[in-house]
């Protein structure tokens, strides 16, 4: 839908800017999910993360998730998803999702759905850089859903 | 090659790209071709990729695809591990 935003970027994500771009007068709720880089995994100290994306397909899959959300929650006003790739430091945002809607319930539900689906279908991969090595994060193998 | 030869573009991502030491290659196949056949050809070229046999996922022209889906001349086949974005 026009007004929605789906982007892949190498630059730091401008979260307030994204919220501002999506805010319309009809919205009464803005729910934002901000995924940030954690400094540990299974007891191991993480130094940084490296994200890789299949860019054109990632944007297509994000748009598909947007369409799914509109099918499930017709009241959603605007959808914004920006995923970053390249090297990321601890506490930097890797993904920001913003949903606006007239009332809060729909925005909460749609935002949760968006991040859950993104982790299943959007072709992006991350590698954890440890003090003593590095390792690709194993995604869960999903059933192909078309 | 006979008149049935087709050429596809193959993209590798994440751990597959790293293990193969290549992110992009072109692949000559004989029609009728499918994803499974192309994947076998890629593994012949990069035997180290065999360890991704069970986990590898595929996309044809930027759409998720199953192993039995057909390929035609000029298609782009992407092969990648289960996604881990977010």
Nearest Cβ partner for B80 among A94, A123, A137: A123
In whole angstroms, give the CA distance from residue B3 to residue B62: 27
Average pLDDT, chain A: 95
What confidence category does residue A142 fall into, taking pLDDT thresholds of 50, 70 and 90?
Answer: low
Domain positions in chain A are 5-133
CA neighbours closer than 13 Å in the CB half-sphere of residue A78: 24
Q: How many of the other CB atoms lie within 10 Å of CB of A2?
A: 4
Out of B55, B64, B84, whose CB is closest to A126?
B84
A-B contacts at Cβ under 8 angstroms: 83
Q: What per-residue confidence (pLDDT) applies to A138? A: 86
| Position A140 confidence tier, pLDDT thresholds 50, 70, 90 | confident
Structure tokens at A59: 């944007």
Statement: A5-133 belongs to CATH 3.90.1170.40 = yes
Q: Residue A146 has what pLDDT?
A: 42
Q: Which CATH class is domain B5-80?
A: alpha beta
Cβ-defined contact of A123 to B86 (cutoff 8 Å): no
- Bond into B5 cis (ω within 30): no
Task: Tell me whether residues B86 and A53 touch, CB distance under 8 A.
Answer: no
Encode pLDDT of B11-55 as tens digits: 999 999 999 999 999 999 999 999 999 999 999 999 999 999 999
* Number of neighbours of residue A64 by Cβ within 10 angstroms: 17
How distant, in Å, are the alpha carbons of A3, B22, B42, B59 from that of B45? Answer: 45, 11, 5, 19
Give the start-to-end residue ranges of the domains of chain B: 5-80
Q: What is the model's pLDDT at position B85?
A: 97
Cβ of A136 within 8 Å of Cβ of B84? The answer is: yes
A120 within 8 A of A62, measured Cβ to Cβ:
no
Interface of A with B in 36-75 (CB under 8 A): 51-54, 56-58, 60
ipTM: 0.94
Tokens of A1: 């839908």
């Amino acid at each position: 839908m026009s007004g929605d935003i789906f982007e892949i970027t190498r630059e730091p994500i401008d979260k307030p800017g994204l919220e501002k771009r999506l805010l319309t007068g009809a919205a009464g709720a803005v729910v934002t999910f901000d995924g940030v880089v954690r400094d540990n995994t299974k007891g191991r100290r993480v130094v940084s993360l490296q994200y890789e994306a299949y860019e054109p397909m990632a944007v297509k899959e994000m748009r598909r998730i947007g369409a799914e959300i509109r099918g499930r929650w017709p009241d959603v006003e605007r959808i914004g998803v920006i995923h970053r790739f390249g090297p990321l430091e601890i506490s930097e945002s890797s993904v920001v999702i913003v949903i606006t809607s007239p009332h809060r319930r729909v925005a909460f539900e749609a935002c949760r759905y968006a991040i859950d689906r993104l982790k299943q279908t959007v072709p992006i991969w991350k590698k954890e850089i440890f003090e003593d090595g590095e390792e690709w994060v194993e995604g869960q193998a999903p059933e192909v859903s078309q | 090659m006979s008149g049935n030869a087709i050429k596809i573009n193959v993209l590798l991502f994440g751990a597959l790209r790293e293990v193969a030491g290549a992110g992009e290659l072109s692949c000559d196949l004989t029609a009728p071709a499918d994803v499974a056949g192309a994947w076998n050809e890629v593994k012949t070229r990069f035997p180290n990729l065999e360890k991704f046999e069970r986990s590898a996922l595929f996309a044809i022209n930027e759409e998720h695809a199953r192993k039995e889906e057909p390929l035609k001349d000029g298609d782009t086949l992407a092969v990648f591990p289960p996604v881990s974005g977010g």
